[in-house]
Amino acid sequence: MSTETPTESDAGTALEQGSHSKHAGRIALHAPLRRFVIPPKLPEPISPALVEHAEQRARDVQNRAADQITRFSGSMTFVYLHIIWFASWIGFGVEHYPYGLLTMIVSLEAIFLSTFVMISQNRADAKRQVIADQQWNTVQEEDHQNRQLLDLSQQILELTEAVHAYANAAAEARGLAGARDAGAVAVPPLPEVAHAHQDASRRVRSVEG
């Protein structure tokens, strides 16, 4: 049986809630600082071709390092750090005017950053090439499907014409046969009707084959 009084239980609950609120407050304070120190990541690609390209690029350690440096140097965090660095260097009098050491360090930094900019441009060109290749493949597939549809339409048209010609020839043949049976006219089948009948039959067999 518990001997804890209601007052002690309320006090423990209040302390627990207070610790949770302090922890949440620290997280809320750290979130802006984290966003300031660590630049936000770019959204993940949706295109399967770009996803595959990103996975292939991530397999190389040098590419991952170059991407991280490029992402950091292209953020406002990089600008703010340089403002603080230059202001502290000049304000605390690390060296006197014309700041030869600072100029040399910044010049070397600019050389490396320009290299990373070129790496970033090459990466963007590779992405554009992947997208262009995917679009070209899509166009080729659509063109092939269109050709198949045109061929199918042409076959349907030829089959329809052959069926119509066969039906007309059969109707004319039945009309002449009926006339002979009735004794109205004793006329043999016309060569044109027989030829049309044979041509229609041949076209139907060719389309079906």
Better-predicted residue by pLDDT, 128 or 5: 128
Query: What pLDDT is recorded for position 197?
Result: 55
In the predicted model, what is the mean pLDDT of residues 116-127?
86
Cα 84 to Cα 79, 92, 108, 117, 194, distances in angstroms: 9, 12, 19, 23, 100
- What per-residue confidence (pLDDT) applies to 202? 67
Check residue 4 and give its pLDDT: 45
The answer to whether residues 153 and 180 touch, using CB atoms and an 8 Å cutoff, is no
Residue 14 has pLDDT above 70, yes or no: no
Q: Residue 55 belongs to what domain range?
A: 17-208
Q: 34 lies in a domain?
A: yes
Which of the four pLDDT bands, split at 50, 70 and 90, describes residue 31?
low
135 located within any domain: yes
Residue 136 lies in a domain: yes
Is residue 119 one of the residues assigned to a domain?
A: yes
Average pLDDT over residues 132-139: 89
Q: Which of 50-54, 111-115, 164-168 has the lowest mean pLDDT?
A: 50-54
Using left for φ > 0, alpha for ψ between -120 and 50, and beta otherwise, residue 99 falls in: left
**Which tens digit of pLDDT belongs to each residue from 41-77?**
767 777 777 788 778 887 888 888 888 888 888 888 8
pTM reported for the whole predicted model: 0.50
Residue among 153, 151, 156 at smallest CA distance from 207: 156
d(CA 171, CA 188): 15
Number of independent structural domains in the chain: 1
Per DSSP, the three-state class of 200 is: helix
Asked if residue 80 has pLDDT above 70, the reply is: yes
C-beta atoms surrounding 169 within 10 Å: 20
Question: Residue 9: its pLDDT value, please?
Answer: 52
In a domain, 5, yes or no: no
Q: What is the pLDDT of residue 107?
A: 94
Answer whether residue 9 is part of any domain: no
Strands (E), the chain: none
As a residue count, the chain comes to 209
**Which pLDDT value is given to residue 183?**
57
> What does pLDDT average to over the chain?
76
DSSP 30-75: HHHHHHHHSPPPPPPP-SHHHHHHHHHHHTSHHHHHHHHHHHHHTS
Residue 92 lies inside a defined structural domain of this protein: yes
Q: Give me 164's structure tokens.
A: 């119509």
Task: For residue 160, tell me if it sits in a domain.
Answer: yes
Which pair of tokens denotes residue 101? 């050491």
